[in-house]
Amino acid sequence: MRIIVAITGASGAIYGITLLDQLKLSGIETHLILSPWAAKTITLETRWTPEQVMALASYSYAANDLAAPVASGSFVHQGMIIAPCSMKTLASIALGYSDNLITRAADVTIKERRPLILMTRETPLNAIHLENMLKLARLGVVIMPPVPSFYQHPETIEDLVLQTTGRVLDLLGIENNLVKRWGAIGTGPLFTGSE
């Protein structure tokens, strides 16, 4: 299996990092595209360096490398995730404005009818953001803001990130044990099954 992971400069670089880490643990080939602002956000928000993040991937590319294999529809892969996806990147994809490798790879993923998951990061959302999301959702793109769930009783930020990462893996059909499944936890009247 081969997956493209892109990290943009929006807040939430830890989602892309965790995704890369989990894909590596699963033995899945990954192709990372890191934007210049993503490198800065990684430094500001995490204990990782951009170099350490790139080392998690099987292959990595600069965002301005439009000659990279992932820029072509002939590059076969099983899905692309942009985690996190900035509103600028979202807008570029929605308009078909392939001005860098991230937006070009996303454009190719759409035209080749492969899964594209955008972990959009912004709040509150304005009408422009929502219209761009709706346009892409109508094309089959999965819009997945990293909205945490709390039914699993998270105790740490890592718990929240892992639950969301597991849901992304679910969307790609990748088996994982990161997700605490509804109905398999809890003791309240809304829950069924064992703890």
**Is 89 part of any known ligand binding site?**
yes
**Is 49 part of any known ligand binding site?**
no
**Is 9 part of any known ligand binding site?**
yes
**Is 167 part of any known ligand binding site?**
yes
**Is 11 part of any known ligand binding site?**
yes
From the list 88, 79, 160, 167, the residue with the least C-alpha distance to 120 is: 88
**Is 87 part of any known ligand binding site?**
yes
What is the pairing mode between strands 116-120 and 80-85? Answer: parallel
**Is 121 part of any known ligand binding site?**
yes
CA distance 195 to 187: 7
Query: Largest Cα–Cα distance of the chain, in whole Å?
Result: 56
**Is 151 part of any known ligand binding site?**
yes
* Edge-to-edge order in the sheet of strand 116-120: 59-62, 29-34, 2-7, 80-85, 116-120, 142-143
**Is 156 part of any known ligand binding site?**
no
From the list 166, 145, 163, 158, the residue with the least C-alpha distance to 26 is: 166
CA distance 152 to 139: 32
User: Dihedral angle at the C-alpha atoms of 158, 164, 169, 175, nearest 10 degrees?
Assistant: 70
**Is 104 part of any known ligand binding site?**
no
Residue list, annotated binding site for FMN: 9-11, 35, 86-89, 121
Residue list, annotated binding site: 9-11, 35, 86-89, 121, 151, 167
Residue list, annotated binding site for dimethylallyl phosphate: 151, 167
